């Protein structure tokens, strides 16, 4: 049973992708297969989260080989929690795409959306559950291959160019990652994360620092950390709306997860990390200033996405239990809220035909009578927007409060400087969100009533907003869960014992 829990999130989407290719002439079967598979993966991820919370870190050594020699899938609270939230968002975005018609390409015999989307979900699952650096590299390559297909769906010249920028940047990052894996193996003789946690401590300080910095650069590109963020605002907004939503929600967070996992496990430290603290401040400020300067809503949200990666780095910079708790809580909050914002924006753009703020006018300035859909659109955008800005009682406020509390506990100058930058960024985020909200209220309800596809898109977007509200309502249990996940990160010895103490194919 344990083996099944860990294998399903990786193997089932990959097998389903192959089956989806065999169904190219039956779009209905393709759509049904993708929905059923993602629903099954979500149920499995929830079961895995409950199992790990009850039993502790769970390991499966594939093929009966020892984790030291073979492929190990490892789930602790952090990976299981992020996997659950990621698959939930992937399912919601899929439903939105089905309602919008993004998955259909009548001009082509082969519909590439479904196999590529399933491959993407399988890559995300492998990234969260991988127990060694090389398989983490493989996971990123699976995500890259599928994401390039998705980002160029129905592409013209501009989108292909943006896709090439994204692909070339990702390939450069992948080459650096592969080089880093080789250097780590040359220095330690292993790529298994648990073994590396044992052996990196015996390296000289210079070698340890160089390896840590190399991996930071690799994952910093994938997470769009300033100044390595240049590719994201030009790539994501050009993709079809559901693809932009899933990329913004998941791909950068996988990079942040890899950064937190490798640094906490392989290169633990005492005290605040000034380098990451500086990166956090730079990412927050540069990102939000870039957002304020945008007229296109999708580019504005993309720069905001970059900015709020800095809040996750904030928790990593503190490098203690409270900091890890805040970072994990913020990742969970941001995955859901970012998806909701992009999906609601997609509704507005599909209804108005434009994402330019200067071409959209609020009801009072347009001279239109407020239709029945205006309150719906306003509410759907306003809730995640206020959460992103960190206003109470939403999940963003809870996550930011956890980070500020961690800074106070730390009490150092670096912690207070990053906290100050976080407060400024939150105020500027509120300004940017209000600026969009004033013009984003367009008629939606009437369209939803006359089109089943529109009803599905509105329902998917509203579902993501509801999940964000549920996170705020269930803040107590969620914070307690993230605290337990952070405690696991703070005890790398437990991870090593769970993995290296497991032989054969049974999990613990």
The per-residue pLDDT for range 444-477, each reduced to its tens digit, is 544 443 445 678 888 999 999 999 999 999 999 9
Q: What are phi and psi of 505, to 5 degrees?
A: -105, 0
- Please state, in angstroms and rounded to a whole number, the distance separating the CA atoms of residues 221 and 423: 25
The per-residue pLDDT for range 110-143, each reduced to its tens digit, is 568 899 999 999 999 999 999 899 999 999 999 9
219: which residues sit within 8 A by CB, 6+ positions away? Answer: 255, 256, 258, 259, 262
> Helices 413-440 and 274-292: crossing angle, nearest 10°?
20
CB 245 within 8 A of CB 345: no
pTM of the model: 0.91
The per-residue pLDDT for range 151-193, each reduced to its tens digit, is 877 666 666 776 778 888 888 999 999 999 999 999 998 999 9
pLDDT at 347: 87
pLDDT at 104: 56
- Give mean pLDDT, residues 240-249: 88
pLDDT at 371 over 50: no
- Please state, in angstroms and rounded to a whole number, the distance separating the CA atoms of residues 60 and 4: 9
The per-residue pLDDT for range 389-414, each reduced to its tens digit, is 999 999 999 999 999 999 999 888 99
**How far apart, in Å, are the Cα atoms of 99 and each of 112, 191, 330?**
17, 43, 29
Strand partners of residue 130: 73
More confident residue, 171 or 236: 171
pLDDT at 429 over 80: yes
pLDDT at 310 over 90: yes
pLDDT at 452: 53
- Please state, in angstroms and rounded to a whole number, the distance separating the CA atoms of residues 270 and 497: 22
- Please state, in angstroms and rounded to a whole number, the distance separating the CA atoms of residues 87 and 216: 26
> Helices 77-100 and 27-55: crossing angle, nearest 10°?
160
- Give mean pLDDT, residues 331-350: 92
Per domain, the residue ranges of the chain are 269-495
pLDDT at 473: 93
Q: How confident is the model at residue 61 (pLDDT cuts 50, 70, 90)?
A: confident
How many CB atoms within 10 Å of residue 144?
A: 19
pLDDT at 239: 78
- Give mean pLDDT, residues 286-305: 94
Percent helix / strand / coil, the chain, rounded to 5: 80, 5, 20
Nearest-CA neighbor of 291 among 361, 252, 341? 341
pLDDT at 89: 96
What is the per-residue DSSP string for 313-360?
Answer: HHHHHH-SHHHHHHHHHHHHHHHHHHHHHHHHHHHHHHHHS--BGGG-
DSSP designation for 362: -
Q: What are phi and psi of 356, to 5 degrees?
A: -85, 125
More confident residue, 500 or 486: 486
- Please state, in angstroms and rounded to a whole number, the distance separating the CA atoms of residues 499 and 508: 9
pLDDT at 70: 75
- Give mean pLDDT, residues 65-76: 81
Q: How confident is the model at residue 105 (pLDDT cuts 50, 70, 90)?
A: low
pLDDT at 379: 84
Question: Which three-class secondary structure state does DSSP give residue 132?
Answer: strand
Nearest-CA neighbor of 380 among 451, 425, 436? 436
The pair of structure tokens assigned to 5 is 């829990």
How many CB atoms within 10 Å of residue 348?
A: 22
CB 115 within 8 A of CB 14: no
Nearest-CA neighbor of 238 among 306, 310, 148? 148
pLDDT at 446: 44
The pair of structure tokens assigned to 364 is 């009072």
pLDDT at 363 over 60: no
Average pLDDT, the chain: 87
CB 131 within 8 A of CB 193: yes
Q: How confident is the model at residue 443 (pLDDT cuts 50, 70, 90)?
A: low
pLDDT at 505 over 70: no
Runs of H (alpha helix) within 390-412:
395-410
The pair of structure tokens assigned to 228 is 């390595």
**How far apart, in Å, are the Cα atoms of 380 and each of 326, 377, 506?**
26, 5, 45
Task: Provide long-range contacts, Cβ within 8 A and 24+ apart, for 19-23.
Answer: 20/114, 20/115, 20/118, 21/110, 21/115
pLDDT at 370 over 60: no
Question: Which three-class secondary structure state does DSSP give residue 364?
Answer: helix
pLDDT at 32: 92
The per-residue pLDDT for range 195-212, each reduced to its tens digit, is 998 898 888 889 999 999
The percentage of residues in the chain with a pLDDT greater than 90, rounded to a whole number, is 60
DSSP designation for 63: G
**Residue bearing tokens 């050009």:** 238
pLDDT at 183: 94
Nearest-CA neighbor of 101 among 453, 351, 340? 453
pLDDT at 180: 94
CB 194 within 8 A of CB 233: no
The per-residue pLDDT for range 208-222, each reduced to its tens digit, is 999 999 999 999 999
Question: Which three-class secondary structure state does DSSP give residue 218?
Answer: helix
Q: How confident is the model at residue 439 (pLDDT cuts 50, 70, 90)?
A: confident
- Give mean pLDDT, residues 31-37: 93
Angle 301-418-339 from CA coordinates, rounded to 5°: 25
The pair of structure tokens assigned to 193 is 């994360």
pLDDT at 95: 93
pLDDT at 19 over 70: yes
More confident residue, 71 or 462: 462
């Amino acid at each position: 049973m344990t083996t099944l829990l860990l294998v399903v999130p990786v193997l089932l989407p990959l097998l389903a992708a192959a089956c989806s290719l065999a169904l190219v002439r039956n779009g209905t079967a393709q759509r049904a297969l993708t929905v059923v598979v993602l629903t099954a993966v979500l149920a499995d991820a929830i079961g895995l989260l409950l199992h790990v919370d009850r039993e502790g870190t769970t390991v499966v050594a594939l093929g009966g080989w020892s984790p030291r020699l073979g492929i190990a899938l490892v789930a602790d609270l952090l990976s299981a929690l992020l996997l659950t939230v990621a698959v939930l968002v992937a399912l919601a975005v899929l439903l939105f795409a089905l309602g919008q018609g993004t998955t259909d390409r009548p001009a082509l015999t082969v519909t590439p959306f479904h196999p590529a989307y399933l491959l993407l979900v399988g890559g995300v699952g492998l990234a969260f559950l991988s127990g060694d650096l090389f398989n983490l590299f493989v996971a990123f390559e699976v995500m890259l291959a599928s994401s390039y297909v998705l980002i160029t769906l129905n592409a013209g010249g501009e989108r292909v160019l943006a896709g090439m920028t994204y692909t070339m940047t990702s390939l450069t990052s992948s080459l650096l990652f592969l080089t880093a894996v080789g250097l780590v193996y040359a220095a330690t003789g292993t790529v298994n994360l648990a073994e590396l946690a044992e052996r990196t401590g015996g390296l000289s300080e210079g070698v340890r620092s160089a390896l840590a910095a190399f991996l930071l650069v690799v994952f910093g590109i994938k997470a769009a950390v300033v100044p390595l963020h240049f590719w994201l605002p030009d790539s994501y907004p050009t993709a079809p709306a559901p693809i932009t939503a899933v990329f913004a929600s998941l791909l950068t967070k996988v990079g942040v997860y890899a950064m937190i996992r490798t640094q906490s496990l392989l290169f633990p430290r005492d005290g605040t990390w000034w380098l990451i603290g500086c990166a956090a401040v730079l990412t927050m400020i540069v990102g939000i200033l870039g957002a304020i300067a945008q007229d296109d809503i999708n580019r504005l949200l993309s720069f905001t996405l970059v900015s709020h990666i800095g809040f996750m780095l904030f928790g990593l910079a503190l490098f203690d239990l409270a900091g890890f708790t805040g970072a994990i809580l913020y990742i969970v909050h941001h995955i859901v809220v970012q998806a909701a914002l992009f999906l609601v924006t997609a509704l507005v753009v599909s209804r108005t035909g434009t994402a330019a703020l200067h071409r959209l006018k609020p009801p009072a300035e347009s001279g239109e009578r407020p239709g029945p859909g205006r309150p719906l659109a306003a509410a759907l955008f306003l809730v995640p927007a206020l959460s992103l800005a960190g206003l109470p009682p939403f999940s963003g406020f809870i996550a930011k409060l956890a980070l500020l509390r961690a800074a106070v506990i730390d009490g150092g100058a670096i912690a207070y400087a990053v906290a100050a930058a976080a407060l400024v960024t939150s105020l500027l985020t509120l300004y940017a969100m209000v600026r969009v909200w004033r013009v984003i209220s367009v008629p939606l309800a009437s369209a939803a009533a006359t089109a089943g596809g529109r009803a599905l898109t509105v329902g998917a977007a509203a579902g993501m907003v509801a999940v964000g509200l549920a996170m705020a309502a269930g803040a107590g249990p969620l914070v307690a869960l993230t605290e337990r996940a952070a405690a696991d990160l703070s005890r790398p010895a437990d991870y090593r014992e769970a993995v290296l103490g497991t032989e054969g194919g049974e999990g613990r």
